[in-house]
């Protein structure tokens, strides 16, 4: 289950950051609410080595997932994408 975990001290001591880590089932164009106020950085990987996951949009703590096969075609069937995101807590 995806959840917010831990706290990170931002470089130069400017407040605390939170970490969202989890596995979600998504298809191309789906959105994921990380539970964060905003996302500073995120890393995505898929459960299928022949597919590519990327962030195609971001609004606050919600990210839009782009999922494509190696030929560049959209993957419209949901599959597991692993997300690690760091950002500001709500």
CATH of the domain at 12: 2.60.40
Tokens in use for 72? 């560049």
The CA-atom distances, in angstroms, between 73 and each of 33, 63, 78, 83 are: 24, 20, 14, 21
For residues 62 and 34, the answer to whether their CB atoms sit within 8 Å is yes
Domain count, the chain: 1
Mean pLDDT by groups of 10 residues along the chain of 90 residues = 55 70 96 94 95 96 96 96 92
Residue range(s) defining the domain that contains residue 43: 3-89
φ, ψ of residue 11 in degrees (nearest 5) = -50, 140
For residues 2 and 54, the answer to whether their CB atoms sit within 8 Å is no
């Amino acid at each position: 289950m995806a959840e917010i975990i831990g706290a990170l001290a931002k470089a130069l001591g400017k407040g605390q950051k939170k970490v969202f880590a989890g596995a979600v089932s998504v298809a191309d164009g789906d959105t994921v609410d990380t539970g964060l106020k905003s996302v500073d950085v995120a890393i995505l990987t898929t459960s299928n080595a022949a597919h590519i996951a990327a962030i195609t949009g971001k609004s606050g703590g919600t990210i839009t997932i782009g999922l494509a096969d190696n030929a560049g075609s959209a993957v419209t069937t949901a599959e597991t994408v692993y997300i690690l995101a760091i950002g500001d807590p709500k």
